[in-house]
Amino acid sequence: MPSKKFLELQEFSDADLISELKETEAQHHKMVFDHAIKGLDNPLLIKEIRRDVARLKTEVRRRELAAMPEEQLAGRSKIRARRRKR
């Protein structure tokens, strides 16, 4: 079952998704910096923000792959097959 956050991300437009990604990454960098300097009350928030960034990047990539033409997807499959052989 998909998480609630994942379902919310699917409703975002592409522009909203990218702006949310930039904001979340900036928030993550700020929290990491603040934690290194003075410490945070709850350092587990860094973990949650990092996972939110990963969710956003995954959704952006999923949309990129969905928008790819068929011939690019076929070429991509060949690249992935070559990597598996190594």
pLDDT at residue 79, rounded to an integer: 75
Per-residue pLDDT of the chain (86 residues; tens, 9 = 90+): 567 888 888 888 999 999 999 999 999 999 999 999 999 899 999 999 999 999 999 999 999 988 988 888 887 777 777 777 76
Tell me how far the alpha carbon of residue 64 is from its chain's centroid.
Answer: 12
Tell me the CA distances in angstroms from 55 to 20, 26, 41, 59, one per residue in order.
11, 15, 24, 6
CA distance 45 to 23: 15
pLDDT at residue 1, rounded to an integer: 52
Domains of the chain and CATH, by start = 4-85 (1.10.287)
